[in-house]
Protein backbone atom coordinates (compact mmCIF):
# COMPACT_ATOMS: atom_id res chain seq x y z
CA UNK A 1 0.00 0.00 0.00
CA UNK A 2 0.95 3.62 -0.45
CA UNK A 3 0.20 5.41 2.83
CA UNK A 4 0.24 9.14 3.54
CA UNK A 5 0.89 10.07 7.15
CA UNK A 6 -0.03 13.68 7.83
CA UNK A 7 2.67 14.20 10.41
CA UNK A 8 5.22 11.47 10.94
CA UNK A 9 7.98 13.26 12.84
CA UNK A 10 6.59 12.98 16.37
CA UNK A 11 5.10 10.39 18.73
CA UNK A 12 1.92 8.89 17.20
CA UNK A 13 2.61 9.91 13.61
CA UNK A 14 6.22 8.70 13.79
CA UNK A 15 5.11 5.37 15.28
CA UNK A 16 2.44 4.84 12.60
CA UNK A 17 4.92 5.62 9.82
CA UNK A 18 7.56 3.35 11.36
CA UNK A 19 5.11 0.46 11.66
CA UNK A 20 3.91 0.90 8.08
CA UNK A 21 7.50 0.94 6.79
CA UNK A 22 8.29 -2.17 8.84
CA UNK A 23 5.48 -3.99 7.05
CA UNK A 24 6.82 -3.04 3.65
CA UNK A 25 4.41 -0.25 2.73
CA UNK A 26 5.48 2.85 0.81
CA UNK A 27 5.14 5.68 3.32
CA UNK A 28 5.08 9.41 2.67
CA UNK A 29 5.15 11.72 5.69
CA UNK A 30 3.83 15.25 5.13
CA UNK A 31 5.16 17.66 7.74
CA UNK A 32 7.21 20.78 8.23
CA UNK A 33 10.12 18.59 9.22
CA UNK A 34 11.03 20.87 12.12
CA UNK A 35 9.95 18.64 15.01
CA UNK A 36 12.25 15.78 14.11
CA UNK A 37 13.08 13.18 11.51
CA UNK A 38 10.79 10.68 9.85
CA UNK A 39 11.41 6.95 10.30
CA UNK A 40 14.10 5.37 8.17
CA UNK A 41 12.49 4.13 4.98
CA UNK A 42 9.76 6.80 4.90
CA UNK A 43 9.91 9.84 2.61
CA UNK A 44 9.41 13.34 4.01
CA UNK A 45 7.52 15.87 1.92
CA UNK A 46 7.73 19.29 3.52
CA UNK A 47 4.36 21.03 3.77
CA UNK A 48 2.87 23.93 5.73
CA UNK A 49 -0.63 23.04 6.88
CA UNK A 50 -1.15 26.53 8.28
CA UNK A 51 -1.69 27.98 4.79
CA UNK A 52 -4.50 27.23 2.36
CA UNK A 53 -2.23 25.79 -0.35
CA UNK A 54 0.23 24.25 2.08
CA UNK A 55 -0.29 20.71 0.75
CA UNK A 56 0.64 21.72 -2.81
CA UNK A 57 3.94 19.78 -2.72
CA UNK A 58 1.80 16.62 -2.69
CA UNK A 59 -0.22 17.51 -5.79
CA UNK A 60 -0.25 14.65 -8.27
CA UNK A 61 0.58 11.96 -5.72
CA UNK A 62 -1.90 9.14 -5.13
CA UNK A 63 -2.41 7.18 -1.93
CA UNK A 64 -4.32 4.11 -0.84
CA UNK A 65 -4.74 5.31 2.73
CA UNK A 66 -4.30 8.47 4.81
CA UNK A 67 -3.58 8.73 8.53
CA UNK A 68 -4.12 12.19 10.01
CA UNK A 69 -2.85 12.94 13.50
CA UNK A 70 -3.71 16.67 13.43
CA UNK A 71 -3.83 17.88 17.00
CA UNK A 72 -5.62 21.18 17.42
CA UNK A 73 -6.47 22.57 13.99
CA UNK A 74 -9.76 22.03 12.19
CA UNK A 75 -8.36 23.80 9.11
CA UNK A 76 -5.53 21.27 8.84
CA UNK A 77 -8.09 18.48 8.69
CA UNK A 78 -10.38 20.25 6.22
CA UNK A 79 -7.56 21.07 3.82
CA UNK A 80 -6.32 17.49 3.82
CA UNK A 81 -9.81 16.17 3.14
CA UNK A 82 -10.26 18.66 0.31
CA UNK A 83 -6.99 17.49 -1.23
CA UNK A 84 -7.25 13.71 -0.80
CA UNK A 85 -10.61 12.74 0.69
CA UNK A 86 -12.20 11.55 -2.55
CA UNK A 87 -9.28 9.57 -3.94
CA UNK A 88 -8.15 7.39 -1.04
CA UNK A 89 -9.69 4.10 -0.04
CA UNK A 90 -9.25 4.48 3.73
CA UNK A 91 -8.93 7.47 6.07
CA UNK A 92 -7.92 7.31 9.73
CA UNK A 93 -8.28 10.34 11.96
CA UNK A 94 -6.73 10.20 15.43
CA UNK A 95 -9.11 12.01 17.74
CA UNK A 96 -9.29 11.96 21.55
CA UNK A 97 -11.50 10.92 24.44
CA UNK A 98 -11.33 14.64 25.31
CA UNK A 99 -14.09 14.99 22.69
CA UNK A 100 -16.64 13.68 25.19
CA UNK A 101 -18.74 16.31 26.92
CA UNK A 102 -19.37 14.58 30.25
CA UNK A 103 -16.18 13.06 31.68
CA UNK A 104 -17.78 13.10 35.14
CA UNK A 105 -20.57 10.75 34.02
CA UNK A 106 -20.26 7.00 33.66
CA UNK A 107 -19.67 6.29 29.94
CA UNK A 108 -21.90 4.08 27.84
CA UNK A 109 -20.05 4.00 24.51
CA UNK A 110 -18.89 5.94 21.47
CA UNK A 111 -22.36 7.46 21.16
CA UNK A 112 -21.99 9.46 24.37
CA UNK A 113 -22.55 13.25 24.11
CA UNK A 114 -19.71 15.23 22.59
CA UNK A 115 -18.51 18.77 23.16
CA UNK A 116 -19.85 21.40 20.75
CA UNK A 117 -17.69 21.53 17.60
CA UNK A 118 -15.41 24.51 17.11
CA UNK A 119 -13.79 25.19 13.76
CA UNK A 120 -10.76 27.09 14.98
CA UNK A 121 -7.00 26.72 15.00
CA UNK A 122 -6.09 26.11 18.61
CA UNK A 123 -2.74 26.64 20.30
CA UNK A 124 -1.22 25.38 23.54
CA UNK A 125 -1.57 28.88 24.94
CA UNK A 126 -5.27 29.06 24.13
CA UNK A 127 -5.87 25.63 25.62
CA UNK A 128 -4.46 26.73 28.96
CA UNK A 129 -7.29 29.25 29.26
CA UNK A 130 -9.93 27.12 27.53
CA UNK A 131 -9.51 23.46 28.51
CA UNK A 132 -12.43 22.28 26.35
CA UNK A 133 -10.94 23.79 23.18
CA UNK A 134 -8.87 20.72 22.33
CA UNK A 135 -11.86 18.39 22.53
CA UNK A 136 -14.15 20.76 20.66
CA UNK A 137 -11.69 21.07 17.76
CA UNK A 138 -11.43 17.28 17.67
CA UNK A 139 -15.22 17.05 17.43
CA UNK A 140 -15.33 19.49 14.51
CA UNK A 141 -12.51 17.57 12.82
CA UNK A 142 -14.30 14.26 13.32
CA UNK A 143 -17.44 15.69 11.72
CA UNK A 144 -15.43 16.91 8.74
CA UNK A 145 -13.88 13.46 8.29
CA UNK A 146 -17.25 11.73 8.55
CA UNK A 147 -18.82 14.13 6.05
CA UNK A 148 -16.00 13.84 3.50
CA UNK A 149 -14.76 10.26 3.89
CA UNK A 150 -17.99 8.65 5.09
CA UNK A 151 -17.99 4.86 5.06
CA UNK A 152 -14.24 4.63 4.46
CA UNK A 153 -13.30 6.52 7.63
CA UNK A 154 -12.00 5.23 10.94
CA UNK A 155 -12.01 7.63 13.88
CA UNK A 156 -9.87 6.69 16.86
CA UNK A 157 -10.63 8.56 20.08
CA UNK A 158 -7.36 7.84 21.79
CA UNK A 159 -6.97 7.83 25.53
CA UNK A 160 -3.73 8.24 27.47
CA UNK A 161 -0.96 7.24 25.03
CA UNK A 162 2.30 6.01 26.49
CA UNK A 163 5.62 4.72 25.25
CA UNK A 164 8.58 5.84 23.12
CA UNK A 165 8.25 9.43 21.98
CA UNK A 166 5.78 10.45 24.70
CA UNK A 167 6.06 14.22 25.20
CA UNK A 168 3.68 14.62 28.12
CA UNK A 169 5.53 12.93 31.00
CA UNK A 170 2.41 11.47 32.63
CA UNK A 171 2.76 7.69 32.53
CA UNK A 172 6.52 8.09 32.27
CA UNK A 173 6.55 9.97 35.56
CA UNK A 174 5.31 6.90 37.40
CA UNK A 175 7.68 4.52 35.58
CA UNK A 176 10.75 6.53 36.57
CA UNK A 177 9.48 7.44 40.03
CA UNK A 178 8.63 3.89 41.04
CA UNK A 179 11.89 2.62 39.59
CA UNK A 180 13.69 4.99 41.96
CA UNK A 181 11.98 3.38 44.97
CA UNK A 182 11.55 4.75 48.47
CA UNK A 183 8.56 6.62 49.84
CA UNK A 184 6.28 7.53 46.94
CA UNK A 185 3.52 10.12 47.20
CA UNK A 186 0.30 8.87 45.58
CA UNK A 187 -3.26 10.22 45.48
CA UNK A 188 -5.73 8.35 47.68
CA UNK A 189 -8.33 7.76 44.96
CA UNK A 190 -10.05 4.74 43.44
CA UNK A 191 -11.00 5.96 39.96
CA UNK A 192 -10.06 3.97 36.86
CA UNK A 193 -7.25 4.75 34.48
CA UNK A 194 -6.50 3.44 30.98
CA UNK A 195 -3.37 3.47 28.88
CA UNK A 196 -2.52 2.49 25.33
CA UNK A 197 1.08 2.05 24.21
CA UNK A 198 1.83 4.10 21.09
CA UNK A 199 3.33 1.06 19.38
CA UNK A 200 0.10 -0.90 19.86
CA UNK A 201 -2.01 2.02 18.69
CA UNK A 202 0.18 2.39 15.59
CA UNK A 203 -0.03 -1.33 14.78
CA UNK A 204 -3.82 -1.19 15.03
CA UNK A 205 -4.03 1.88 12.79
CA UNK A 206 -1.91 0.20 10.11
CA UNK A 207 -3.98 -2.98 10.49
CA UNK A 208 -7.11 -0.90 9.89
CA UNK A 209 -5.69 0.58 6.69
CA UNK A 210 -4.76 -2.89 5.44
CA UNK A 211 -8.10 -4.48 6.34
CA UNK A 212 -10.38 -1.51 5.66
CA UNK A 213 -11.63 -1.26 9.25
CA UNK A 214 -14.03 1.67 9.68
CA UNK A 215 -16.15 3.21 12.40
CA UNK A 216 -15.65 5.19 15.59
CA UNK A 217 -13.67 3.65 18.43
CA UNK A 218 -12.30 4.60 21.82
CA UNK A 219 -8.61 3.79 21.37
CA UNK A 220 -7.96 2.68 24.94
CA UNK A 221 -6.75 -0.31 26.86
CA UNK A 222 -8.71 -2.05 29.62
CA UNK A 223 -9.58 0.11 32.61
CA UNK A 224 -8.25 -0.55 36.10
CA UNK A 225 -8.19 1.43 39.35
CA UNK A 226 -5.24 3.81 39.52
CA UNK A 227 -3.90 2.30 42.80
CA UNK A 228 -3.86 -1.13 41.16
CA UNK A 229 -1.95 0.21 38.16
CA UNK A 230 0.68 1.87 40.35
CA UNK A 231 1.09 -1.30 42.41
CA UNK A 232 1.41 -3.35 39.23
CA UNK A 233 4.07 -1.00 37.83
CA UNK A 234 6.07 -1.30 41.06
CA UNK A 235 5.73 -5.08 40.90
CA UNK A 236 6.97 -5.42 37.30
CA UNK A 237 9.92 -3.17 38.17
CA UNK A 238 10.68 -5.12 41.34
CA UNK A 239 10.75 -1.74 43.07
CA UNK A 240 11.14 -1.35 46.83
CA UNK A 241 8.53 1.33 47.52
CA UNK A 242 6.29 2.58 50.30
CA UNK A 243 3.18 4.39 49.09
CA UNK A 244 2.37 7.55 51.02
CA UNK A 245 -1.30 8.19 50.32
CA UNK A 246 -2.88 11.62 50.54
CA UNK A 247 -6.47 12.71 49.97
CA UNK A 248 -7.27 14.91 46.98
CA UNK A 249 -8.25 17.76 49.31
CA UNK A 250 -4.96 17.56 51.19
CA UNK A 251 -2.94 17.41 47.98
CA UNK A 252 -4.71 20.49 46.63
CA UNK A 253 -4.13 22.27 49.93
CA UNK A 254 -0.40 21.52 49.59
CA UNK A 255 -0.30 22.85 46.04
CA UNK A 256 -0.25 19.54 44.18
CA UNK A 257 -2.27 19.49 40.96
CA UNK A 258 -4.16 16.59 39.36
CA UNK A 259 -3.52 14.90 36.00
CA UNK A 260 -0.66 16.88 34.43
CA UNK A 261 1.39 20.04 34.42
CA UNK A 262 3.92 21.45 36.88
CA UNK A 263 3.86 20.17 40.48
CA UNK A 264 1.30 17.48 39.71
CA UNK A 265 0.59 13.84 40.37
CA UNK A 266 -0.07 12.53 36.87
CA UNK A 267 -3.07 10.29 36.11
CA UNK A 268 -4.96 11.53 39.21
CA UNK A 269 -8.30 12.71 37.85
CA UNK A 270 -10.31 15.46 39.52
CA UNK A 271 -13.86 14.59 40.55
CA UNK A 272 -15.24 16.49 37.53
CA UNK A 273 -13.43 13.97 35.27
CA UNK A 274 -13.82 10.84 37.37
CA UNK A 275 -14.95 8.63 34.48
CA UNK A 276 -12.75 10.09 31.76
CA UNK A 277 -10.57 6.98 31.79
CA UNK A 278 -13.35 4.43 32.20
CA UNK A 279 -14.21 4.03 28.53
CA UNK A 280 -15.26 0.66 27.12
CA UNK A 281 -12.23 -0.90 25.45
CA UNK A 282 -14.14 -3.93 24.17
CA UNK A 283 -15.07 -2.57 20.69
CA UNK A 284 -11.48 -1.56 19.95
CA UNK A 285 -10.13 -4.87 21.25
CA UNK A 286 -12.65 -6.75 19.10
CA UNK A 287 -11.53 -4.67 16.11
CA UNK A 288 -7.92 -5.70 16.57
CA UNK A 289 -6.29 -3.38 19.11
CA UNK A 290 -3.90 -5.65 20.99
CA UNK A 291 -2.31 -4.17 24.14
CA UNK A 292 1.14 -5.42 25.04
CA UNK A 293 1.97 -6.60 28.55
CA UNK A 294 2.32 -3.98 31.27
CA UNK A 295 5.94 -5.04 31.67
CA UNK A 296 6.63 -4.16 28.01
CA UNK A 297 4.74 -0.87 28.30
CA UNK A 298 6.66 0.11 31.43
CA UNK A 299 9.99 -0.88 29.89
CA UNK A 300 9.28 1.27 26.82
CA UNK A 301 8.27 4.23 28.94
CA UNK A 302 11.30 3.89 31.21
CA UNK A 303 13.72 3.60 28.28
CA UNK A 304 12.21 6.79 26.86
CA UNK A 305 12.56 8.53 30.23
CA UNK A 306 16.21 7.59 30.41
CA UNK A 307 16.80 8.79 26.86
CA UNK A 308 15.31 12.19 27.74
CA UNK A 309 17.18 12.34 31.05
CA UNK A 310 15.77 11.46 34.44
CA UNK A 311 16.91 14.76 35.97
CA UNK A 312 15.35 16.99 33.32
CA UNK A 313 12.66 19.58 33.99
CA UNK A 314 9.44 17.66 33.47
CA UNK A 315 6.16 18.58 31.76
CA UNK A 316 4.26 16.78 34.54
CA UNK A 317 4.95 15.37 37.96
CA UNK A 318 6.81 16.33 41.12
CA UNK A 319 10.51 16.94 41.46
CA UNK A 320 12.18 14.85 44.18
CA UNK A 321 12.45 18.01 46.27
CA UNK A 322 8.77 18.90 45.89
CA UNK A 323 7.69 15.35 46.67
CA UNK A 324 9.83 15.24 49.82
CA UNK A 325 8.42 18.60 50.91
CA UNK A 326 4.84 17.39 50.53
CA UNK A 327 5.51 14.11 52.32
CA UNK A 328 7.12 16.04 55.18
CA UNK A 329 4.10 18.34 55.38
CA UNK A 330 1.79 15.32 55.56
CA UNK A 331 3.82 13.92 58.44
CA UNK A 332 3.72 17.23 60.28
Q: pLDDT tens track of the chain, all 332 residues?
A: 999 999 999 999 999 999 999 999 999 999 998 888 999 999 999 999 999 999 999 988 999 999 999 988 899 999 999 999 889 999 999 999 999 999 999 999 999 999 999 997 766 666 667 889 999 999 999 999 999 998 999 999 999 999 999 989 999 999 999 999 999 999 999 999 999 999 999 999 999 999 999 999 999 999 999 999 999 999 999 999 999 999 999 999 999 999 999 999 999 999 999 999 999 999 999 999 999 999 999 999 999 999 999 989 999 999 999 999 999 999 86
Q: What is the C-alpha separation between 205 and 209, in angstroms, rounded?
A: 6
pLDDT at 178: 98
pLDDT at 219: 98
Q: Which DSSP string corresponds to 205-252?
A: HHHHHHHT--EEEEE----EEHHHHHHHHHHHHT--EEEEEE-HHHHH
CATH number assigned to the domain covering 170-192+224-274+293-331: 3.90.25
pLDDT at 205: 98
The domain defined by 2-158 folds into: Rossmann fold (3.40.50)
pLDDT at 289: 98
pLDDT at 331: 87
Smallest Cα–Cα separation from 161: which of 301, 306, 324? 301
pTM summary value: 0.95
All structural domains of the chain with their residue ranges: 2-158, 170-192+224-274+293-331
Q: Which element (helix H / strand E) includes 147?
A: helix 133-149
Torsion angle, CA of 107/112/113/115, rounded to 10 degrees?
80
Q: Do domains 2-158 and 170-192+224-274+293-331 have the same CATH topology?
A: no
Please check whether residue 189 is in contact with residue 269, taking contact to mean a CB–CB distance below 8 angstroms: yes
Cα 192 off chain centre by: 17
Q: Which element (helix H / strand E) includes 259?
A: strand 257-259
Amino acid sequence: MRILVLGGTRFVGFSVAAEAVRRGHEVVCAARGQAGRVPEGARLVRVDRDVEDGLEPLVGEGFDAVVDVATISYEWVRRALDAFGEQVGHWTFVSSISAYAEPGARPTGAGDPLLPPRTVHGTRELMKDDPDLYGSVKVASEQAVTAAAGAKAMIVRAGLITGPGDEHDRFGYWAQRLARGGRVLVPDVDHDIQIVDVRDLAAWIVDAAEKGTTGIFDGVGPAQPLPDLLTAIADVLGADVEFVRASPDKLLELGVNPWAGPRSLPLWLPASHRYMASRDAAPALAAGLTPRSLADAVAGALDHERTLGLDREREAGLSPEDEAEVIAALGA
